[in-house]
Structure 1
Amino acid sequence: MTARLQPIARSGVPFAGHSLAGSADLWFDEVLLRDRNVPATRKSLAECTAQEQTRLSQRRAPICGLPMDRPRIMGVLNVTPDSFSDGGDHASLDAAVTRARQMAEEADILDIGGESTRPGAEEVSVAEEIRRTSKVIAAIRNAGITTPISIDTRKARVAEAALDAGANMVNDVAAFTFDPELADLVAERDVPVCLMHAQGRPDTMQHNPRYDDVLFDVMDFLEDRIAFATGRGIARERIVTDPGIGFGKTLEHNVTLLRNLSLLHDLGLPILLGVSRKRFIGTIGQAAEAKERLAGSLAVVLHGVQNGAQILRVHDTYETRQAIRLQQAMMKRES
């Protein structure tokens, strides 16, 4: 696909067009028609084909049994010693379970990670990653916490151990480019998977990232990985997309993707947005320490909600839930 459609999200007034990706609060009656190296042009909904209207407006399939008609919070629980924001905070089993219980009060999904993917991070062995994650997932389930769990990994064996321990979903920052066998596992287990765009691997991804056109390069990559996934037997309705903010991208790349986040709806699948505490927030918001970036993180999360992102991956689940409740009250559809 060359030309792409970017719905212009609206809220707060009676619907005058189609629901945006099945949202209870967002709608659109215009799109931006985008092509590489060509200025965007406006196009009315009536000028779109029936297929285009359906792709942009139909409600996305549930993920982990959760309807995608409203924003869902994915709580980050890293059981690593070196993650950029919370490394070492939940290294003990008790600390991890305690934090999982706290997050489960507000989060819809818990995302468990045992390998840091921060810029410059080195690869962790499969055995070590399994050791860090599978016992935590089992302990969370043994504690009676029933919130869906996503395993944040690039590796098939790690995901297999996590699913055996009680995880429900796979979150692959490499979109099956690191370990293609992970696609076979996801297909076999018939679980949801998030496919994220990244340029390069964590240890080198921030070494002067370049794009011909970051919007189209990311969209083309995701479209290619969706085709790969479905070709390996993964049901399309099991797939979530993620533009990979901060993964092989400059500040300008990140801001461009966020300004045009609604373009991802043209893929016809749920959007996961992970921006919590990231470096570009610190740069723009003048907050050097990751844990001082809550206000900036909330600002970007609410921008994601306004543009129809279905899953928001965050560290601060309580504060995010409160902010989204207020945002939804402002966006609520008038009768």
Structure 2
Amino acid sequence: MSFDLSTDRRTLLSLSTVAIAAGIVPLPGVAQETEDEGSVPTSYPQPSIDARHPAEIAPGVFVIPDRRIPLVPNVGIIVGSERALVVDCGLGIDSAEAVLDTARRLAPGREIVLTLTHAHPEHGFGAQVFATDERIFYNAPQAEHLARAGQPLLDGFRAAVLPPEHRFLLDGIEITPPTETYDGTETRLDLGGREAVLRSVGLAHSPGDQIVHLPDAGVIFAGDLIEERIYPIVPYFPPLIGADDIDLPTWRTALGMIADLAPTIIVPGHGSLGGTELPEAVSGYFDALEDVAAGGGDLDAMVAEVHRRYPTWEQAGYIPPALQYLTR
């Protein structure tokens, strides 16, 4: 397998997505624009990671981009002299195997460590691939959430998110606990010649959200705390994901913390890479969302108002759950 590691960084930063972050609702598909019909749902590509062309966005920091495919996250591989850290591994065994193979080729002879930004299926339901020979390292709240909700999430994705032709991707999936966890809000992982700072946010987009910060490179992997030009997903889908699994104030605090760290590059869970304008945009959206929710009224009217304020953002189907969470 050959690797194209010379991708122009400005080109990578302009990558966009219509990826869906985890949410237990029927997946609407990729919105295609037509002259007469506007945005209509259509089928979408198989949500498998293509790991053949990782892009080096900073020295020794690689991103496998989502390629605008729903349910495919941006995946990170950070290479040190002694070990490599993989950030998220995708949905299904094939995707995780492709990510692991790429990590081994980028860091030959070194230990591979997998961590997740959060425990939603499209980010980590292939982790079992890493369990035999590698290390899986999560924060304690994330591990607890996975143990409690992993199987229901797996069943929900199979039944309500993936279309029938893609459900085979979950065949053989086992909810895999980490080999090691950390407590507290922060830990530092020595990769050999560089440190990766894992910061546990706690309960925000999901229980156990985490960012991965590379101070030497000015890069942050933010997971689904940040999406780019996609309506941020407040995954209020009871009874599977209820209000107790989301905390908007903590999410806001995390956005401020990410901005305060002043990274040069932020890798969102799905979408284009960017800078501190990304958390600022998500925070501004939450301001607008709360303003509309405070005004009350018919849900359809509130959704229309939010969409009016953000007409170019994608996946408007995620506005109603956010408003329902705020007005519950």
Which structure exhibits the higher relative contact order, with contacts defined as CA atoms closer than 8 Å and separated by 6 or more residues? 1
Higher strand share: 2
Higher helix share: 1
- The answer to whether the superposition gives a TM-score over 0.5 is no
- Give the TM-score, by structure 2 length: 0.31
